[in-house]
Every structure is written in structure tokens, then in C-alpha cells.
């Protein structure tokens, strides 16, 4: 359920993005609903992705957002939050394989301009077709900045940025390797990359984890099933 918590944090950031310090009533209710759903997960009341999706749709969107915004800006913000949620909820059950955790101490780095990502995985022909690598929609990498003040042993570490997806590079011929390589920098048009770097450069008093993981669908993990 930790990916559900991460998705809720992303939805909450999307709702609050660009809002004034004195939150509109609809945004305040939606933020409170995000916190309530997160609390239900932490308390063990929501134990499946399906239960989470239903609770979040009802609490955040049906009860607090639908019909509340009365201007174009509010409607656009609510629509963005709903789009983020619906895109993310489709992926929460895709298994996650942790690859790298980099601990950044409070004074370790305050002016990162980019993050270079490079992962090389061994691949093998699929029993059904003999083809590789797996399709990008079944296998990709993700980078996220997490709260360094929470030990990894806690099981779930609050994520301070959206997850940034890194897709496979096109292979040369029938290579037995899958390569993920990308530079995430401030020149990116992807707002998630900018939020990742902003979280990474969040100030001298905050420790961070830079986490790199692989998301692999069951079609990749159990190709012969």
C-alpha cells in the first residue's frame, strides 16, 4: 500500500500547486480528504488497491471536488488532480523492485542541476516468442526523492516528489540487456522532473533519500505463467 500513499501525496501536491496561502474551501476539503484516506491506509482499514481507489474517489473527488469549484482555475486544478489519480491508480499494483537508495545528508547537496540515471539489466528471450526486451509498458524505471528523516527500516518513507518515469532505451539489435539511461534536469518540460529537483534541493536542514526502482509487470516477472 506504500505506492497508494505515494499517489495520495502526488494528488495532494497537484491540488495545492498554484493555490494561495489562504486555501479555497474546495482545496482545503480535498487536502483533508487526502489526509483522511492516508490515515485509513496507515490504520489498516484499507488493505487493497481496489478498496483504496474506491475510498479515494468517493472522499476526494465525489464528495469534496465534484461541484465545488466555481471558476475556471479551480476546475482546471481539480481536473489535473483527477487525471493524476486515475493515471497513477492503474499502476499501484505493478510490482516494484528497489535498486538504489542514496542518502543525502542535510548539508550534502543544495544545488543539484540534474540527476543522471543509468541502469543496465540482463534480459532473456521470452518463452512465447523468443523476443526481448520486454515492452516499455511492462518494464520501466522510476526515480523519487523521499524524506531522509524517516529510516528505510520503517517500511514506508514519505515521498517528497512525484515519481519520474524513465523508459527503456531502444536496443541495438537483439541485445540481451535492457538499458535505462536519462538525464533529469531543469530544462525538462516534465513538471515532475522539476519537482524532483526542487525536493532534492530542499534546503540545508532536510535529509533526503534519492530512490531508484524498477517497475515490472507480472508478464515480465512470470513470463511462462
pLDDT at 30 over 50: yes
Q: Do 111 and 85 lie in a common domain?
A: no
Q: Which of these three, 89, 122, 152, is where a domain ends?
A: 89
Mean pLDDT within 155-163: 80
Q: Do 8 and 78 lie in a common domain?
A: yes
Mean pLDDT within 139-159: 80
Domain count, the chain: 2
C-alpha cell at 179: 538499458
Q: Do 107 and 216 lie in a common domain?
A: yes
Residue range of the domain that includes 74: 2-89
Q: Do 74 and 9 lie in a common domain?
A: yes
Q: Do 101 and 197 lie in a common domain?
A: yes
Q: Do 32 and 60 lie in a common domain?
A: yes
- For residue 83, CA distances in Å to 27, 73, 76, 142, 215 come to 16, 15, 10, 19, 21
Q: Do 81 and 113 lie in a common domain?
A: no
Q: Do 61 and 116 lie in a common domain?
A: no
Check: CB of residue 133 under 8 Å from CB of residue 171: yes
pLDDT at 132 over 70: no
Q: Do 120 and 186 lie in a common domain?
A: yes
98: β partners: 213
Q: Do 28 and 137 lie in a common domain?
A: no
Q: Do 77 and 23 lie in a common domain?
A: yes
Q: Which of these three, 57, 89, 121, is where a domain ends?
A: 89
Share of the chain above pLDDT 90, in %: 6
How many Å apart are CA 25 and CA 130, to the nearest integer? 56
Angle formed by the axes of helices 72-89 and 2-16, to 10°?
170
With 0.85 as the threshold, say if the pTM is over it.
Answer: no
pLDDT at 72 over 80: no
pLDDT at 12 over 80: yes
Amino acid at each position: 500500500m506504500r505506492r497508494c500513499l505515494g499517489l495520495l501525496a502526488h494528488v495532494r501536491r497537484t491540488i495545492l500547486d498554484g493555490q494561495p496561502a489562504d486555501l479555497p474551501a474546495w482545496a482545503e476539503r480535498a487536502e483533508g480528504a487526502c489526509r483522511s484516506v492516508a490515515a485509513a491506509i496507515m490504520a489498516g482499514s484499507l488493505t487493497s488497491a481496489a478498496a483504496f481507489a474506491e475510498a479515494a474517489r468517493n472522499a476526494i473527488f465525489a464528495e469534496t471536488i465534484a461541484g465545488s469549484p466555481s471558476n475556471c482555475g479551480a476546475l482546471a486544478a481539480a481536473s489535473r488532480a483527477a487525471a493524476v489519480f486515475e493515471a497513477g491508480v492503474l499502476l499501484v499494483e505493478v510490482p516494484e523492485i528497489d535498486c538504489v537508495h542514496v542518502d543525502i545528508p542535510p548539508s550534502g547537496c543544495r544545488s543539484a542541476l540534474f540527476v543522471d540515471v543509468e541502469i543496465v539489466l540482463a534480459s532473456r528471450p521470452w518463452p512465447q516468442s523468443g523476443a526481448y526486451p520486454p515492452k516499455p509498458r511492462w518494464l520501466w524505471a522510476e526515480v523519487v526523492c523521499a524524506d531522509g528523516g524517516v529510516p528505510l527500516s520503517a517500511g514506508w518513507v514519505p515521498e517528497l516528489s512525484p515519481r519520474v518515469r524513465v523508459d527503456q532505451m531502444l536496443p541495438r539489435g537483439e541485445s540481451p540487456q535492457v538499458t535505462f539511461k536519462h538525464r533529469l534536469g531543469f530544462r525538462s518540460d516534465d513538471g515532475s522532473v522539476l519537482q524532483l529537483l526542487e525536493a532534492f534541493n530542499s534546503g540545508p536542514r532536510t535529509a533526503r533519500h534519492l530512490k531508484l526502482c524498477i517497475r515490472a509487470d507480472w508478464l515480465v516477472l512470470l513470463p511462462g505463467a
